[in-house]
Structure 1
Amino acid sequence: MIRRQLLTGSAAFGTVAATATLSVPAIAQSAPEIRWRLASSFPRSLDTIWGAGEHVAKRVAALTDNKFQIRAFPAGELVPGLQVADAVQNGTVECAHTASYYFVGKDPTFAFDGAVPFGLNMRQTNAWLQQGGGRDVLREFFAGYNIVSIPAGNTGAQMGGWFRKEVKTVADLNGLKMRIGGFAGNVMQKLGVVPQQIAGGDIYPALEKGTVDAAEWIGPYDDEKLGFNRVAPFYYFPGWWEGCLNLSLYINKAKYDELPALYREVLESACRDATIETMAKYDVQNPAALRRLIAAGTQLRPFPREVMAASYKAAFELYDETAAKNEKFKTIYEQWRTFRDEQYGWFRVAENSFDQFVYAMYAQEAQRR
C-alpha cells in the first residue's frame, strides 16, 4: 500500500517537474529584450559611489538572464553629472544614478530624496523610504518631472569636509567659499558661507587653485581617492548636512511604465541590493582610509559646538521659510518631520544608549593599552 502511494506520489512529482521544465522556455520567450543607458552623476574613479549604479546594472542583467541590460556611463560621457535629471525627464537616457539634492535649484523638495541637514541616519532613512511612507509622498512629486525614483545606494553619515584654515567660531565662516551641495548650501549661506555646487570630479582643481576655500564630498575613502588632503590640511566632522546620503535610480516614467511587471520587481530588488552593498563597502573602507589620512598629516577636527548649534538653528529656520512658500516642500517636510521625531525618540532609548556605552568602554580600554 505504502509502495503504491510512493509510486503514485513519484508520478505526480514527475508530472509537476515536467510541467515546470516545459514552462521555463515559455516564460523566457515571453520576456522581452530591453537595452537601457544609465547616466551617472559620478566619475568611474570613485568605485564605491559610481559602483552602486553599476551594481544595479549587473544585478538586473543577472536576474533576467541578460534579457534586460543596462549600460552605465560615468559623469560627462553622455551628459554632465549635474544634468542627469534633465536627461531622464526628457528621455535622452532611460535612467540615471544620482543624488537628488543636486537638483534643489529646480525645487528644494528634491532634497528629501537624498539628504537634508540634521536629518535621518541611514537606517532611519531606509525605514522612512521603504516602510514609513517616504516613497509614497515622493512619488507624486517626481511624477511632475516625468521621473520614477528608486533608492539605490547609501553612504552613511558623511564627514564635514576639508578646510584650508581652522574653523573656531561662526565668524570664521563669513565669506568662506565652500563646495557644498544641496539644501545644505542654503543653510550655510545663512551663516555667511558662499556655497558652490561643483561635481565630484571637479572639486580637487577648485580646491587646489583656491577657487573654493573648503569642500565636502563624502568620507575618508572617497576623499582620499580625490586627493583633498594634499591641498587642505583640516578635516572636519560630522557632516551635519548628511546624516546619510540616499542615492537614487531615476527612471523615465514612460520607459518605466512600458516595463513588464517582472522587470519592475527586478529593478526594485537590484536597487535594494545596491543600497546594502554600498553601505557595507563604505563601512569597511572608511576606517582604514581615515587612519591613512591621519598618518599622512591630516588634522582631524570636530566642528565647534557653537558652529553646530548655529547651523541647526539656521537649518530649521530655513525649513519653515521654505515650507511657507512651497506647498510641495511643506507636504513632504511635515510628514518627514513627524517620522523623524518618532525615530529620534526610539533611537535615543536603545541604539544611542548602546553606542555611547560601548564606545566609552572602548576608549577606556584603548587608553590602557
Structure 2
Amino acid sequence: MLKSLARFALVGAAALSITSGAIAQEFSFKFQSSDPAGNPNFELKKDWAERVKAMSGGRLEIEMLPVGSVVEHNETQDAVSAGILDGHITDTSYFAGKDPAFGLIANPVGAWSDPSEMLRFVEYGGGKELMNELLEPRGLHFIGATTPGLEAFISKKPLDGVADLKGLKMRAPEGLVQEVFAAAGAAPVNLPGSEVFTSLDKNVIEAADYTVFSTNQAQGMHDVARHPVYPGFHSMPLVEVSMNKDKWDALPDDLKAILEVSVRDFARDMTSQLAMKDLVAVAEARKGGDITIHNWSAEERAKFRAIAKAQWEKVASRSDNAQKVYDVLTKYLTEQGLL
C-alpha cells in the first residue's frame, strides 16, 4: 500500500512538474528597444519585462533587446509586422516617414508640460484608439504608452531663447520635431540616439533633442555639451509598447490584461524614477560648476510653442490619418484647458 502511494505521489509530482514547465514556456517574445544597453531607459524596460514574467506566473516571458540588435531603430515597425520581432518599445516619431500622423501623435511639440497630460490623452482622451487605427492595419497592436518625461535639451552653445536656435546644427527625430526646429531657424538632422554623443564630440552637431537631463548626464553628454536647457521647452515623446497583432490576438484575455496594466504601471515607474533622477543630476551639475544650465523664460517658451502649433496644422493636411490625429488632439487639449 505504501509503495502504491509512493508511486502515485511520484507520478503526481512529475505531472505537476510537466504542467508547471508548460505554463512557464507558454509565450516567449522578443521586443526591441530604441535605447542602447546600459541606458537608464533601457534598464527600466528590462525591469518591466521582469514584472510581466512575475505577474503572469512565468507564463509570459519577454526578452528586451537593445537598439540595433535585430534591425535599425526606424525599422522595428516592419520587423514586428513581419514577425521578425514580436514587439518593440520605441519613439513613435521614428515612423513619421510612413505616415505623418505618427509624427504628430508621437510628439506634438509644445503641447505637453507634464507626462500626466500626455498619458491621460492616451488612456482616456482617444490616443489609444488613434494608435490602433494607425497600427493595426500595419499588423501591430498598441498595448500602451510611456514617456521619459519632458526632455531637456543638449547644447554646446548657450541657448537662452528662440533667436539662439538660428542656424544651430542639431539632432532631432524624424517628422514633426524636425519641422518645428527647422521653422524656428535651426538646421536639424536625423541621427539615432546611439550616435548623439559621438556626433557632439566630433562637432558634427552642436545640439540635440535626445532625452531627459539625468539620462543625458549619465551618458556623458554634458561632458561634451556644457549648456543644457532645463526644464525642457520642447519635446515629450510618446514611447509606444506595441506587438505583432496576430500574436496579440492569440493571447488569452488574462495575459492581455496583464500586459495592459503592466504598461500603465511601467509609465508611472519610468516617469517617476527619471524625474527623481533629474533633480539629483541637476543639483550635481550645478554643484560641479562646469555646466551652465539655461532655463528659458515664459516669453521664450511661448514663442517656441507658437511656432510649433503652426506646424501641427501643416502636418495635419498631409494625410487623412494626420488630420484625424490633429482633430482628436486639439479637441482634447481644448477641453482640458491646455490649448
Could you say which TM-score interval applies, normalised by the shorter chain? Answer: 0.7 to 0.9
State the partner residue of 2:296.
303
Q: For the structure 1 residues 234 and 69, does the alpha-carbon distance in structure 2 shift closer, same or farther, using more than 3 Å as the test?
A: same
* Contact 1:60-1:267 within 8 A present in 2 as well: yes
CA contact (8 A) 1:152 1:272 kept: yes
User: Counterpart in 1 of 2:237?
Assistant: 245
Residue 77 of structure 2 corresponds to which residue in structure 1?
85
Deviation by residue 1:37-58 (Cα, 9 ceiling, x = unmatched): 11111012112x1133223321
Deviations along 1:252-274, one digit per CA (max 9) or x if unpaired, are 11111111212111111221121
- Separation in structure 2 between the aligned mates of residue 36 and residue 333 of structure 1, nearest angstrom: 34
Q: Of 296, 315, 325, which residue of structure 2 is paired with 1:332?
A: 325
Partners in 1 of 2:19 and 2:123 — Cα distance? Answer: 33
2:193 to 196, 200, 222: 200
Question: Compared with structure 1, are the counterparts of its residues 307 and 280 closer, same or farther at alpha carbon in structure 2 (3 Å cutoff)?
Answer: closer
| Pairing 1:16-55 to 2, within 5 Å after superposition | 33-47=26-40, 49-55=41-47
1:258-300: CA deviations, max 9, x gaps? 1121211111122112111111211221111111112221101
CA–CA distance in 2 between the matches of 1:324 and 1:56? 37
Answer with 1 or 2: which has the greater Rg. Answer: 1
Separation in structure 1 between the aligned mates of residue 164 and residue 214 of structure 2, nearest angstrom: 27
| Alignment check: 8 A CA contact 2:316 2:325 kept | no
Amino acid at match of 2:194: G
Q: Which has the higher helix share?
A: 1
Q: Give, in angstroms, the shift of residue 72 of structure 1.
A: 0.9
What amino acid maps onto 1:45 in structure 2? G
RMSD (CA atoms): 2.4
Aligned to 1:8: none
Return the match for 2:277 from 285, 290, 304: 285
Q: Secondary structure at the match of 2:75?
A: helix
1:262 matched to 2:257? The reply is no
Relative to structure 1, the CA distance from residue 206 to residue 30 in structure 2 (aligned partners, 3 Å threshold; closer, same or farther) is closer
1:126 alignment partner in structure 2: 119
Partner in structure 1 of residue 130 of structure 2: 137
For 2:23 and 2:32, the matched residues in 1 are separated by: 28
Shift of 1:31: 8.8
TM-score (norm 2): 0.86
Secondary structure of the residue aligned to 2:337 is helix
Return 104-113 or 219-228, whichever deviates more. 104-113
CA contact (8 A) 1:122 1:245 kept: no
Q: Counterpart amino acid of 1:303? A: W
Residues 208-250 of structure 1: CA deviation (Å, up to 9, x unaligned): 10000111322221011111111122111343332x3332212
Distance 1:112 1:56, change over 3 A: farther
The answer as to 2:301 corresponding to 1:323 is: no
For the 8 Å contact 2:91–2:238, the answer to whether it is kept is: yes
For each residue in 1:108-151, what CA deviation from the matched residue of structure 2 results, as whole angstroms up to 9, or x when unmatched?
21135532211133112121111222211221111132111222
Distance 2:337 2:47 in 1: 32
**Residue 30 to residue 283, structure 1, CA distance change in 2 (3 Å):** closer
Q: Which runs of 5+ in 1 are unaligned?
A: 1-24, 349-369
Is the Cα–Cα contact under 8 Å of residues 149 and 212 in structure 2 kept in the other structure? no
Aligned counterpart for 1:272 among listed residues 236, 245, 264:
264
1: CA distance, partners of 2:260 / 2:250: 15
Report matched runs for 1:166-185 at 5 Å.
166-168=158-160, 170-182=162-174, 183-185=176-178
Q: Which position in structure 1 is the counterpart of 2:52?
A: 60
Report the AA paired with residue 77 of structure 1.
S
Contact 2:144 2:264 survives alignment (8 Å): yes
Specify the alignment match of 1:352 in structure 2: none
1:314-351 CA distances to partner (integer Å, 9 max, x unpaired)? 21221112222321111111111111122226xx9xxx
Aligned residues with identical type, % of pairs? 23
